[in-house]
Structure 1
Amino acid sequence: MQHTPFIAVEGPIGVGKTSLSKKIAAHFDVDLLQEIVEENPFLGKFYDNIEEWSFQTEMFFLCNRFKQLEDIEKYYLAKGKPVVADYHISKNMIFAKRTLKPGQFKKYEQIYHILTNDMPKPNMMIYLDASLDTLLHRISLRGRDVEKNIKASYLQQLKQDYQTFMEQFEAQHPDIPVIRIDGDNVDFIKHQDDLNTIITLVEQQLQKGAMK
């Protein structure tokens, strides 16, 4: 595993990944890489009709996230520059398993592994979670047009899928520390103490990594 810090922040839609990533990047004075979301031309259609537009939506995300992962490797890690990302490409499999038909998923999975098998993995994961009510409230507050038709049932399924995925991730990657944060009880936007607690946890893991 590379020793240059590569921190990924993950969690379901609306939980605050980008907000936290920005604050961590600013605190440590490192570069921030944000995922491409609203630029996906299929996303609005996807939330209107998931079955019809899922494959196009997931393939667009996969290709763009792969390109960003290449950039992380080439422009950051290869040059010893730490980076914080507000997602990691492994999230693609969470969404694909939920939205694609079996035949589509089989093709998608093959393409995913071809693209990502030799790509760098984060050496720290921050996992944000929150209740369904909190997620729905935050999605409503940010008011993205492409998200206005997200169904609560879809978001609840996604939340459960994330929990399962993170359990599997920790089992498969015991060398990658995961910092879990409860978004219902921690408000790092309004309360500096909450942010300081998270920053301290990140610093502790960075120090452990430097000692290896």
Structure 2
Amino acid sequence: MKPCPFIAVEGAIGAGKTTLATMLSDRFDIPLLKEIVEENPFLDKFYQNIEEWSFQLEMFFLCNRYKQLEDTGLQYVSRHQPVISDYHIYKNLIFAQRTLKGVKLDKYRQIYHLLTEDLPKPNIVIYIRASLETLQKRIEMRGRDFETAIDPAYLQQLIEDYETAFAELAEREPETTIITVNGDEMDFVEHPEHFEHIVRQVKELL
């Protein structure tokens, strides 16, 4: 039996993950799983002092995403019902490996692998690749106060981390189909034809 679609949309901060995931959810009429971001009580402190608050921030995200995906497995995947999310759990390692060091990183990796080893994994991932300039414009447009403190150097490093991580993900999970969207050239919000191009790519896999 062909596995039921579990689609994840990914990309660095400001890439447009939630926007695209919501648009696809509406188009294909499938449930949307949205990550918790602004509800994280450590975000403001993290962007002011990354080293001091990174472990608390990453653990909050990990535990919340674990719970969401555990519920998703029970509600949709195990019942062969399609679902789309605006994140892949693998992103937790992308961020943690950038912000955590030494013993804290080792502990985090152990907890991550323990929690995620039996979670449902997306079989289709849409990766929005975008430059620093594009991300900064989109971050400014959505106007989240806590994101105004993001260091451009941190954001640029995150872009590079995502590139490395998705190359690794393609090797680690060869059964996962990755669709790469050029976020600098494609504006799926302002240009309907750009969104339709993505829709056609997803339809071919469905």
TM superposition score category, shorter chain reference: over 0.9
1:81 match:
81
Distance in 1, Cα, partners of 2:201 & 2:34: 22
Structure 1 moving runs of 4+ over 2 Å: none
1:1-212 equivalence runs, <5 A: 3-206=3-206
Distance in 2, Cα, partners of 1:175 & 1:26: 26
CA displacement, residues 32-90 of structure 1 (integer Å, 9 cap, x when unaligned) = 01000000000110000000000000000000000001111011112222110000111
- Report the number of matched residues: 206
**In the superposition, relative to structure 1, how do residues 113 and 2 fare at CA in structure 2: closer, same or farther (>3 Å)?**
farther
Distance in 2, Cα, partners of 1:118 & 1:172: 15
Aligned-residue RMSD, C-alpha = 1.1
3-state secondary structure, aligned to 1:154: helix
Residue identity in the other structure for 1:123? N
Distance in 2, Cα, partners of 1:2 & 1:82: 12
3-state secondary structure, aligned to 2:76: helix
3-state secondary structure, aligned to 1:97: helix
Distance in 1, Cα, partners of 2:84 & 2:121: 12
Tell which deviates more after alignment, 160-169 or 143-152: 143-152
Structure 1 position 19, deviation (Å): 0.5
CA contact (8 A) 1:122 1:176 kept: yes
Residue identity in the other structure for 1:180? T
Distance in 1, Cα, partners of 2:2 & 2:116: 16
Distance in 1, Cα, partners of 2:107 & 2:131: 33
TM-score normalized by the length of structure 1: 0.95
Percent identity (aligned): 55
Distance in 2, Cα, partners of 1:77 & 1:169: 21
Residue identity in the other structure for 2:177? P
CA contact (8 A) 1:4 1:80 kept: yes
CA contact (8 A) 1:2 1:77 kept: no
3-state secondary structure, aligned to 1:186: coil
Distance in 1, Cα, partners of 2:192 & 2:136: 24
The unaligned stretches of length 5 or more in structure 1 are 207-212
3-state secondary structure, aligned to 1:118: coil
Residue identity in the other structure for 1:192? P
Residue identity in the other structure for 2:29? D
Residue identity in the other structure for 1:92? N
Residue identity in the other structure for 2:197? T
3-state secondary structure, aligned to 2:8: strand
